[in-house]
Copies of this chain bind each other. A is one copy, B any other.
Amino acid sequence: MSPSEFEQDPTRSDAAGRRPAAGDPLAPGATPDDAVLLTARGIRKSFGENEVLRSIDLEVRRGEVVVLIGPSGSGKTTVLRSLNGLETPDSGVLDFDGGPELDFAAGITKQGRVAMRDRSAMVFQQHNLFPHMTVLENVIEGPVRVQRVPRARAIADAEALLERVGLSDKRDAYPFALSGGQQQRVGIVRALALRPDLLLFDEPTSALDPELVGEVLKVIKELADEGWTMVVVTHELGFARQVADEVLFMDGGVVVERGAPKDIFTNPAEERTRRFLDRILRPLD
């Protein structure tokens, strides 16, 4: 089955509430345009006494790649999790294009959270593949069980995606039998198979051996080039520089500085940003 069959099936996109894929299986659900996909305003979140997010604003346009950087504990993961509905902010507003605006201060229903979660898919640092399922089963679980895509079509879709990231021969392997880089690529495919509007990456390479980092970054870069909308948390500054449309530097639960990568990396306005970049780029100085 050719990957382009996605286009020939109008029911699919309706059932899942998502736009059909372009010819290439790696292509995102929508051709990039400049429409705003997601707006977050004044997102706050505390864990007990600990105020982890102190009013975060964020705007992501379709086809754009936003990179979050910042020291450990600055709240990057919490931002991603809030966008994916894994965490419920205490207040703030989240507006996915085409969906209802969610006001967290007013309380949010289960349906609201589910609707929000369905718009995005997360790729975790520790990949979190399902160890008791083969690669193929991992990938089709969401489409078949949740989105009710017919099994045969989900399999064809998964196979096309796996081939695209070079893992066709692993479709029946269990995760334990894969290298870290392969596992992470499966994690990405599992997210892609859901055809989400927004891909969220939380340090997708930081648990990998250094030589395996490249293979995963390359896949993400290709996704970016092909127009997927994504928010990426990463410490790979070289990668961020090449791929990001916008870089946000977070510290202590606030966005300290934001801008184009070349500005942030070569000429940060804030002293805090500069110090952070120095520590990473020149650890021995």
Contact = CB atoms under 8 A, between A and B. Distances in A.
A219 to B, nearest CB: 11
Interface stretch (A21-29, A79-87, A231-239): A231-239
Interface string A247-285: 000000000000000000000000000001001100110
Nearest to A210: B235
Contacts of A280: 210-211
Contacts of A142: none
A8 interface: no
A109 interface: no
A218 interface: yes
A5 to B, nearest CB: 31
Contacts of A72: 179, 209, 211-212
A283 B217 contact: yes
A246 to B, nearest CB: 19
Nearest to A283: B214
A221 interface: yes
Q: Chain A interface: which size bin?
A: 20 to 34
A213 B278 CA distance: 12
A239 B235 CA distance: 18
> How many copies, total?
2
A242 interface: yes
A283 to B, nearest CB: 3
Looking at A206, A209, A218, A238, which has the most chain B CB atoms within 10 Å of its CB? A209
Q: Is the interface of A mostly helix, strand, loop or mixed?
A: helix
Contact of A71 (B206, B211, B236): B211
Contact of A238 (B235, B236, B276, B283): B283
Nearest to A207: B207
A201 to B, nearest CB: 15
Contacts of A71: 211
A239 B281 CA distance: 12
A282 to B, nearest CB: 8
Interface string A108-123: 0000000000000000
Interface string A62-79: 000000000110000000
Interface in A181-230: 206, 209-214, 217-218, 221
A284 B217 contact: yes
Contacts of A209: 72, 206, 235
Given A72-B212, A206-B209, A239-B283, 12 more contacts: A72-B179, A72-B209, A72-B211, A206-B210, A210-B279, A210-B280, A211-B279, A214-B279, A214-B284, A217-B283, A217-B284, A218-B284
12 contacts: A72-B211, A72-B212, A206-B209, A210-B235, A210-B280, A211-B276, A214-B279, A214-B284, A218-B284, A221-B284, A236-B283, A239-B284
